[in-house]
């Protein structure tokens, strides 16, 4: 839980410093966006390696190595003298976060009985959401007091604590309690390369679709589609020849897992897109300070921390597809209501809408993985956690880019710009249109969420 808190904090806390960092390095919107999306690309690619790393090196070595990488990335970003070094530090942090984040779901499904898994997910989630709840608030204060560099060092105490806890509590075995390193399987580097190149092509293609020549955008998106097709073909070939694939395609033979993967992708797009968009809206749209943005988001984080353990207990007794659908509805509603916010609106409106969205997240977070992964064979649990995490982060990486693209498009349509000093109703309207796009995505995800329900028993 502590390691995941560190990785999530490194993901979300940088967003409150993007305006100051952009000014320091004279970045345009597209380059500044790579501070967030570069992290997401690295996290998405490395997430596929977690099952192999756990089988090869065991829980402890995999965990300790990723925490050291996260620690190094934070220090590199905080001491960087140019934007390239900042981006390199963010990529290192993303690689570490991608390795760590599938591990808790594997632990919960192996270590707890089915009637305890919801409660365990709730307790784990309550701790993890403290990172995005407290991160922006503390990060906003640090940016105002010490500048944008200080937020990179926030992960240092968490990483040091997690390293001490790892050597004290984390077993050295692989999932299932077997000895690590016995299989001697090599990592599927070709599959990893195809997945990474496909992700990069997708993100750059989305950016070029709006800013660049249409031919280049189509070429990049075509490259992403080709990499996806080659990735699927290669994974199927490895499975047929008895070797370990990076993503076991047998997972998608389970309907609940397939529907859960669709929900995870769209949910990741909306969640990470809004995590990028909301602080930018408050600072550049409503002209609020970074510290005030963090203070506005703090009550919502506390409500989320309270909601998750309650819903976790419900997940042991109530159908997960109902809980996930309710969460997506509340999340969509919170995005749709953001169009009501104006320059003269009271801050209580922002607090209320943020709380509503976080209650929705509280319904989704403990339920989605359990609903998608409970039907899986035990041997596929590590692969399932990695695959659904990969798809969620792929959606997240696309979501950050998509929000940037739609925002630039709507700013141009309303005749506004983020470069000018002060805000205007046209700029607020452009942000409102982007929030409506996120609400529509959540509504689409509800259709797949309803298919998470368990199949009726045959007569």
For every one of its 459 residues, what pLDDT tens digit does the chain have, with 9 covering 90 and above? 888 888 887 777 777 777 777 777 776 666 666 776 678 778 878 888 888 898 888 888 999 999 999 999 988 888 877 888 888 888 899 899 989 988 888 888 888 887 888 888 888 877 676 666 666 667 777 777 877 788 888 888 989 999 999 998 888 888 776 776 655 568 888 888 998 888 888 877 877 776 667 788 889 999 999 999 999 999 999 888 878 888 888 888 888 889 989 988 988 888 878 877 888 888 888 888 777 877 787 788 788 878 888 888 887 788 888 899 999 999 999 999 988 888 777 888 888 998 998 898 888 877 888 888 888 887 788 888 888 888 887 887 788 778 888 888 888 888 877 767 777 888 888 888 999 999 999 999 888 888 777 655 444
Two structure tokens written together for 15: 């967003």
End-to-end CA distance of the chain: 43
Rounded Cα distance between 153 and 137, Å, is 15
Q: Helix crossing, 425-449 with 255-280: angle to 10°? A: 170
Q: Are 300 and 351 in contact (CB under 8 A)?
A: yes
pLDDT at 22 (0 to 100): 74
Phi-psi region of 184 (alpha: psi -120 to 50; beta: other; left: phi over 0): left
Q: Are 392 and 268 in contact (CB under 8 A)?
A: yes
Give, in order, the Cα–Cα distances in Å from 47 to each of 42, 53, 134. Answer: 9, 10, 25
385: Cα separation from own chain's centroid: 14
pLDDT at 132 (0 to 100): 62
Two structure tokens written together for 303: 């409500």
Q: Are 162 and 70 in contact (CB under 8 A)?
A: no
pTM of the model: 0.79
CB count within 10 Å of CB 225 equals 14
Q: Are 269 and 398 in contact (CB under 8 A)?
A: yes
Rounded Cα distance between 439 and 429, Å, is 15
pLDDT at 133 (0 to 100): 61
Give, in order, the Cα–Cα distances in Å from 319 to each of 95, 150, 361, 365, 455. Answer: 34, 44, 17, 14, 12
Q: Are 394 and 265 in contact (CB under 8 A)?
A: yes
Q: Which residues contact 455 (CB under 8 A, 6 or more apart)?
A: 255, 256
pLDDT at 336 (0 to 100): 92
Task: List phi, psi (to 5°) of 28.
Answer: -85, 175
37: Cα separation from own chain's centroid: 10
């Amino acid at each position: 839980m502590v390691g995941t808190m560190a990785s999530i904090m490194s993901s979300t806390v940088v967003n409150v410093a993007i305006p100051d960092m952009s000014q320091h390095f004279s970045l345009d919107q597209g380059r500044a966006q790579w501070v967030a999306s570069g992290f997401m690309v690295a996290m998405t690619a490395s997430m596929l390696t977690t099952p192999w790393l756990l089988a090869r090196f065991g829980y402890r070595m995999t965990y300790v190595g990723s925490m050291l990488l996260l620690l190094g990335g934070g220090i590199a970003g905080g001491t960087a003298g140019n934007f390239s070094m900042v981006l390199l530090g963010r990529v290192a942090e993303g690689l570490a976060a991608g390795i760590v984040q599938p591990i808790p779901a594997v632990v919960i499904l192996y270590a707890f009985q089915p009637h305890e898994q919801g409660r365990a997910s709730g307790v784990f989630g309550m701790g993890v959401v403290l990172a995005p709840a407290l991160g922006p608030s503390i990060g906003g204060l640090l940016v105002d007091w010490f500048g944008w560099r200080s937020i990179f060092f926030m992960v240092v105490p968490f990483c040091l604590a997690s390293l001490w806890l790892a050597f004290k509590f984390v077993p050295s075995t692989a999932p299932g309690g077997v000895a690590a390193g016995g299989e001697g399987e090599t990592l599927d580097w070709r599959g990893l390369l195809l997945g990474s190149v496909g992700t990069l092509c997708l993100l750059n293609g989305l950016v070029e679709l709006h800013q660049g020549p249409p031919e280049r955008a189509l070429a990049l998106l075509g490259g992403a589609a080709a990499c996806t097709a080659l990735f699927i073909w290669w994974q199927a070939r490895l499975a047929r020849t008895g070797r370990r694939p990076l993503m076991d395609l047998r997972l998608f033979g389970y309907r609940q897992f397939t529907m859960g993967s669709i929900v995870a992708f769209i949910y990741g797009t909306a969640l990470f897109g809004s995590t990028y968009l909301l602080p930018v809206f408050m600072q550049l749209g409503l002209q609020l300070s970074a510290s005030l943005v963090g203070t506005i988001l703090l009550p919502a984080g506390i409500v989320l921390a309270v909601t998750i353990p309650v819903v976790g207990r419900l997940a042991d007794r109530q159908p997960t597809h109902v809980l996930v659908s309710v969460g997506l509805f509340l999340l969509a509603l919170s995005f749709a209501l953001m169009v009501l916010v104006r320059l003269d609106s009271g801050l209580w409106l922002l607090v209320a809408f943020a709380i509503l969205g976080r209650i929705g997240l509280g319904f989704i977070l403990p339920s989605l993985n359990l609903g998608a992964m409970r039907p899986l064979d035990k041997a596929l649990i590590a692969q399932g956690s990695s695959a659904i995490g990969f798809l969620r982060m792929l959606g997240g990486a696309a979501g950050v880019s998509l929000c940037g693209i739609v925002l630039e498009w709507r700013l141009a349509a309303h005749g506004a710009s983020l470069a000018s000093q002060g805000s205007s109703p046209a700029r607020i309207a452009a942000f409102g249109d982007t929030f409506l796009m996120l609400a529509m995505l959540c509504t689409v995800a509800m259709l797949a969420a309803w298919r998470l329900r368990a199949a009726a028993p045959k007569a």
